[in-house]
Structure 1
Amino acid sequence: MVETLWKFHDIDSKFIPLQNGINPIVQKVLFYKGITEAAEMEEFLSPKPKKTYNPFLMRNMEEASALILQYIREKKNIWIYGDYDVDGVASIALLMDFLSRFTDHLHYYIPLRAEEGYGLNCDAIQEIKNNGADLIITVDCGSTSVKEVALAKSLGMEIIITDHHNLSEEKPDCLILNPKQEDCPYPFKLLCGCGIAFKLAQALQKKLDAPKTCLNEILDLVALATVADVVPLIDENRTMLKYGLQRMTHTTRHGLNFLIQSIGLGGKKITAYHIGYILGPHFNASGRIDDARAGVELLLAKEPDKIVALTQHLIACNDERKLIQDQGLELCRERVEKEYQDDLFLVVDSGITHEGVIGIIAGRIRDIYYKPTLVVTEAAEEGILKGSGRSIEGLDIYEELKKCADLFLKFGGHKNACGFSIEKDKLNLLRQRLNLQAREIIENTPDIFRKSLKIYGIVTPPEITEKLVEDLERIEPYGMGNEKPLFLIPNLKAPAPSDLLFMGKSKEHIKLRGISGNKGTMDAIGFGLADFYINHLNNPAALDLLGFPCFNEWNGHKSIQFMISDMKRSSL
């Protein structure tokens, strides 16, 4: 087992606390995140942030919104075309919800993952035309769909693309709403697909002089997509997410509310964690295992019987997804242990594992071995494999695969994740070439295959007060671009046997009790760290704990606990 690197942020020499009433520990965290001015700090910590931008700053927004209004007034048929992941599902639901207030001539289309794959396809466009479409609005896809857009126009349809993915050199010949396109003056480039759909709704609301409540009521969908699509939780994303989480906690969306109740989140303040690890996977599972339309239908449904049936379906899909995923993960782990343990770049054949879960499995294998990982499965076409990849920090998996482009039938992605298809007999060659590339990388960056954790500061147990925990909560929601700050408690006396507990079905978790704090004692919890404590720390006299303080609420009792991310034998 490779030891995790702990890295201190080198800001102490530059950091001078401001006299603005904000806890200096919190100020230091914000300072490291690049938030150094008093006004910026107040905005970042505010429960009602104001950082948002005029939707008409986005290139083509004026023309696109005007065209949609024209089609609404002429009572023409508008079709929303989206992706089958959470971002696509939420984006379709958002525009269906918003536009249905102004037109009855509204429909949507989501491709099936296995049969059609991601994005626009020509067969779907022909089917949409056959169903009487006049205008297609894409959400979360379309930025590279040159031939598909040309087909739509040749069939007599208008098409507007709303998307957040990178564009290719050749752009589709239509109106495009994408802040990443060249010459787009929109100041924030990192919205998710649903965020861009929301900006379109904002523009239409202004043109229609509609009540702002019709925007407030769709912010729960923006929150769902923003977290699930793992875009940076900064700037305008942070603003929309904060309001969206408030909306989701008190949602009037019947289907979403019933799902929240059914999966044990009823009565709780919905957080980014709940979306990322509980709610989001239920919507994703439908697109992975079956048909993503079920997610859209649940978000739009109002009939009680339909809501119950759809909720049960999503829960069943998620249960099936977890079972398939666990089986595939076990198979991949066995193959890594037997065949590829010495590889730096893992390329693992998962047999006939459902392609809807291979990306999740690749992420889990990456986390277990901390190596860039590709997982492949058999495609419907004989002799063809479909694959998905996940990378480690500092290694751009898209660029590494790009060096092997001659081996792929198709590939795409970004620095953290990728997808591809390849002939089966070329897989071993791909594995060999990627491992050669990885060896070159490690020669220049020796620590790249060692996981590192960043230390935001040193604290002692007495410094961890309720006020500090409350102040740190103001930095939420945590996620990509706003990572949870980790603090070091150094040289903590190892617990007596009576204060050392092992928990969980397999006793895989650890609890250290009786740590003397500011008022009384607190516990420290380490999920999945029991084996590490027993086998690697070897009865230490003192410990260095790296983690994060938070509240634990149980049966009406509220206490502070320290959530351990990693621990080491103290060297002091």
Structure 2
Amino acid sequence: MATSVWKEIELDERALRLGRERDLSLLEANIVSRLLHPRLEGAYFNQEPLSFDIQIPNLDESAKFIAKAIKDGKKILVHGDYDTDGIMGTTILYSGLKSLKANVSFFIPSRFENGYGLSSCSVDAAKREKADVVLTVDCGTNSKDVQIELESLGVALVVTDHHIPEKENLVDSFLVNPFLGNDEEAKMLSGATVGYLLLRKVAENLNEILPEEPFLRLCGIATVSDVVPIGAFNWNLCKKAFSALQSSPSPGLNALLKKCPMPPYRCHHIAFYLSPRLNAAGRMEDANLVLDILLERDLERAEDLVEKLEELNTTRRYLQAQMAEEIEKNFGDDDLPFLFCASERFHLGLLGPVASRLCQEKNKSVFLISVDGESATGSARSVEDVDITSLLRESEGIFKRLGGHERAAGFTLETSNIVKLREFLEKKYKISDSPKESVNYYFFIQPKQTEIVWEILGKLDPIEPSIKHPCFALETKQLSPPKIIKDKHLLWNIPLNNGRSVSAFYFDALSKISKIPTNERLIVGRILPDKLRSNPNFFFEVKDII
């Protein structure tokens, strides 16, 4: 009956040590051992406060320059990016500088007309806004060519970014990028957080007190959405951000949060409900819609804008499912250690999310390319043991533009180079190797431990993204007999303490299993926030029956 290979998680040496040293139950010690990255032990057990003692090269000098520009009445153009990290960063810098009485405006390029990062459209925007300074967030590190063009017009460039620097086109003006330094904690920051740290320094230089909110909550959203590593700083930042989201004064953000399960908020609320909506604007039309929502102070107007975003997200989900189905039907080749697909029919804005979904489902790296005449744009997602951006940088003469992180990359290339890229990947991935068998892991728990597990997961959240979240398993004989819902789903009740219960739901179960399970089975799945109930505010999403 099982649709996957499953293995129970047993106590290991670290779990036993944590149990002894931290006085944890065996259940909690086992879960913490598996889900708490070793670098987070201090933050988790000692409840260290959020400290802004982060070292980033050029941060102080850049802050002084921006502060002086504000004092001198110079026009500052905040240049962002169209993904959630870039949008949050743009909102932080624009609203923060405005509160510091700066003469400031913002610009976010179009994914479809301009592409990622600084380009000729950035120069045009600087001219149009009559900017004296272009201040970037989440982009700009490798834009020496644009820097030269801006400076020829008398426009200064200040870059805040977290993308990996390249020697060939590295800017040499004010560049605030953690990867130029040696602070490993700083290298885990989102682009929005790097921008926020600059904003704090600017306020210090102006002898102004800048409140942490609304900025921290936006940094938290960016941190989860951009899937950056979670170090102690990011862990503490997210804890404060998630708490602050429950009392946001922003009409637009509150309207967006109504689309999520009920608080308290966790990574899941952002990654699976909030971030897809925020990204939908830039993927389908114009990312400026999200800026309008976040900056709007009229409740009715904010709700109207959110409904427009909701319509875009609904369209995004439909087209994304269609695209994934087409790839499965026409491009699937299980003998290859990676999935490589190029088509004129692929929606440019959906390459990333579809690649992410297929990477998770197939446990192999995925390369999707949208072809438009002689030019093509691609997105790549990798499995855990492949640094995708570093791998692609080993190629020579294939890409026109390339950027990204360990697990994700974006690129442009000439259509004639698509075959060369595939040949390069075949050599790198050793085509003779078979894909690794995917093994899924679970913790065996008793029904009444479900609520305890939910609380443990809440204390651990946010969990380092590189750690694959295991599932939990319950014996069906300890549950109520399953009910068939709408002739295709299965529903169990899991008994909790104090006479309460929580639902276990197996979506589309009867298309995956041949018969209703007996009492001698295990249901395995995830414990997730429930959008419909508040007490308890979670449910059990069944993934398989073994």
- TM bucket (normalised to shorter chain) is 0.7 to 0.9
After TM superposition, give the deviation of residue 432 of structure 1 in Å: 5.2
After TM superposition, give the deviation of residue 393 of structure 1 in Å: 2.8
2:438 to 440, 447, 451: 451
C-alpha distance in structure 1 between counterparts of 2:32 and 2:396, whole Å: 41
C-alpha distance in structure 1 between counterparts of 2:247 and 2:284, whole Å: 30
| Aligned alpha-carbon RMSD (Å) | 3.5
CA separation of 1:376 and 1:70: change in aligned 2, threshold 3 A: same
Match of 2:462 in 1: 477
CA separation of 1:526 and 1:393: change in aligned 2, threshold 3 A: farther
Unaligned runs of 5+ in 1: none
1:420 to 411, 415, 433: 411
After TM superposition, give the deviation of residue 465 of structure 1 in Å: 5.9
CA separation of 1:423 and 1:5: change in aligned 2, threshold 3 A: farther
C-alpha distance in structure 1 between counterparts of 2:41 and 2:109, whole Å: 47
Match of 1:243 in 2: 240
Match of 1:324 in 2: 319
Provide, for residues 496-540 of structure 1, a one-character-per-residue CA deviation record: whole Å limited to 9, x for no partner. 9x813344x672x433446798978765444455544338xx966
After TM superposition, give the deviation of residue 253 of structure 1 in Å: 1.3
Match of 2:520 in 1: 542
**Residue 273 of structure 2 corresponds to residue 282 of structure 1:** no
Decide whether the 8 Å contact of 1:9 with 1:454 is kept in 2. no
**Residue 158 of structure 2 corresponds to residue 139 of structure 1:** no
Whichever residue aligns with residue 114 of structure 1, its letter is F
Provide, for residues 255-287 of structure 1, a one-character-per-residue CA deviation record: whole Å limited to 9, x for no partner. 2123334x366x643332221122212221111
C-alpha distance in structure 1 between counterparts of 2:244 and 2:4, whole Å: 42
Whichever residue aligns with residue 176 of structure 1, its letter is L
Whichever residue aligns with residue 253 of structure 1, its letter is S
Whichever residue aligns with residue 242 of structure 1, its letter is K
C-alpha distance in structure 2 between counterparts of 1:362 and 1:453, whole Å: 21
C-alpha distance in structure 2 between counterparts of 1:98 and 1:72, whole Å: 12
Whichever residue aligns with residue 364 of structure 2, its letter is K
Whichever residue aligns with residue 269 of structure 2, its letter is H
Provide, for residues 522-570 of structure 1, a one-character-per-residue CA deviation record: whole Å limited to 9, x for no partner. 65444455544338xx9667334444556869666538854444443xx
C-alpha distance in structure 2 between counterparts of 1:204 and 1:35, whole Å: 34
After TM superposition, give the deviation of residue 97 of structure 1 in Å: 1.2
Q: How does 1:545-560 map to 2 (within 5 A)?
A: 545-549=523-527, 557-558=535-536
Decide whether the 8 Å contact of 1:142 with 1:162 is kept in 2. yes
Q: 519-528 or 318-327: which moved more?
A: 519-528
Whichever residue aligns with residue 54 of structure 1, its letter is D
Decide whether the 8 Å contact of 2:81 with 2:138 is kept in 1. yes
CA separation of 1:210 and 1:560: change in aligned 2, threshold 3 A: closer
**Residue 7 of structure 2 corresponds to residue 12 of structure 1:** no
C-alpha distance in structure 2 between counterparts of 1:515 and 1:315, whole Å: 36
After TM superposition, give the deviation of residue 64 of structure 1 in Å: 1.2
Match of 1:122 in 2: 120
Match of 1:387 in 2: 378
Provide, for residues 171-198 of structure 1, a one-character-per-residue CA deviation record: whole Å limited to 9, x for no partner. 31112211111x4447432000111112
Decide whether the 8 Å contact of 2:260 with 2:269 is kept in 1. no
CA separation of 1:109 and 1:534: change in aligned 2, threshold 3 A: same
Decide whether the 8 Å contact of 2:355 with 2:381 is kept in 1. yes
Match of 1:102 in 2: 100
After TM superposition, give the deviation of residue 168 of structure 1 in Å: 1.2
Decide whether the 8 Å contact of 1:495 with 1:512 is kept in 2. no
Match of 2:178 in 1: 179
C-alpha distance in structure 2 between counterparts of 1:127 and 1:465, whole Å: 54
Match of 2:365 in 1: 372
2:349 to 337, 343, 356: 356
Match of 2:45 in 1: 42
Whichever residue aligns with residue 459 of structure 1, its letter is I
1:194 to 192, 195, 198: 192
C-alpha distance in structure 1 between counterparts of 2:171 and 2:40, whole Å: 42
Any idea what SS the aligned residue of 1:113 has? coil
Decide whether the 8 Å contact of 1:495 with 1:513 is kept in 2. no
C-alpha distance in structure 1 between counterparts of 2:437 and 2:72, whole Å: 60
Count of matched residue positions in the alignment of Structure 1 and Structure 2: 542
Match of 2:51 in 1: 52
C-alpha distance in structure 1 between counterparts of 2:405 and 2:233, whole Å: 22
Whichever residue aligns with residue 534 of structure 1, its letter is S
Q: 251-260 or 72-81: which moved more?
A: 251-260
Q: TM-score w.r.t. structure 2 length? A: 0.87
Provide, for residues 457-483 of structure 1, a one-character-per-residue CA deviation record: whole Å limited to 9, x for no partner. 543445x16445434421123461565
C-alpha distance in structure 1 between counterparts of 2:124 and 2:424, whole Å: 41
Decide whether the 8 Å contact of 2:185 with 2:231 is kept in 1. no
Decide whether the 8 Å contact of 1:87 with 1:140 is kept in 2. yes
C-alpha distance in structure 1 between counterparts of 2:415 and 2:32, whole Å: 49
Whichever residue aligns with residue 134 of structure 1, its letter is D
After TM superposition, give the deviation of residue 84 of structure 1 in Å: 0.7
Match of 1:500 in 2: 482
Match of 1:27 in 2: 29
Whichever residue aligns with residue 481 of structure 2, its letter is D
Any idea what SS the aligned residue of 1:386 has? strand
**Residue 257 of structure 2 corresponds to residue 260 of structure 1:** yes
Decide whether the 8 Å contact of 1:294 with 1:310 is kept in 2. yes
Decide whether the 8 Å contact of 1:465 with 1:518 is kept in 2. no
Decide whether the 8 Å contact of 1:60 with 1:176 is kept in 2. yes
Q: TM-score w.r.t. structure 1 length? A: 0.83
Q: 469-478 or 245-254: which moved more?
A: 469-478
Decide whether the 8 Å contact of 2:380 with 2:410 is kept in 1. yes
Percent sequence identity is 24
After TM superposition, give the deviation of residue 297 of structure 1 in Å: 1.9
Decide whether the 8 Å contact of 2:185 with 2:232 is kept in 1. no
C-alpha distance in structure 1 between counterparts of 2:535 and 2:264, whole Å: 17
C-alpha distance in structure 2 between counterparts of 1:143 and 1:269, whole Å: 36
Provide, for residues 290-333 of structure 1, a one-character-per-residue CA deviation record: whole Å limited to 9, x for no partner. 11111112211224564244323322221222222222222222
C-alpha distance in structure 2 between counterparts of 1:424 and 1:30, whole Å: 48
After TM superposition, give the deviation of residue 356 of structure 1 in Å: 0.3
**Residue 395 of structure 2 corresponds to residue 397 of structure 1:** no
C-alpha distance in structure 2 between counterparts of 1:38 and 1:315, whole Å: 39
Match of 2:330 in 1: 335
Any idea what SS the aligned residue of 1:230 has? coil
1:510 to 490, 497, 501: 490
After TM superposition, give the deviation of residue 227 of structure 1 in Å: 1.3
Q: 1-10 or 101-110: which moved more?
A: 1-10
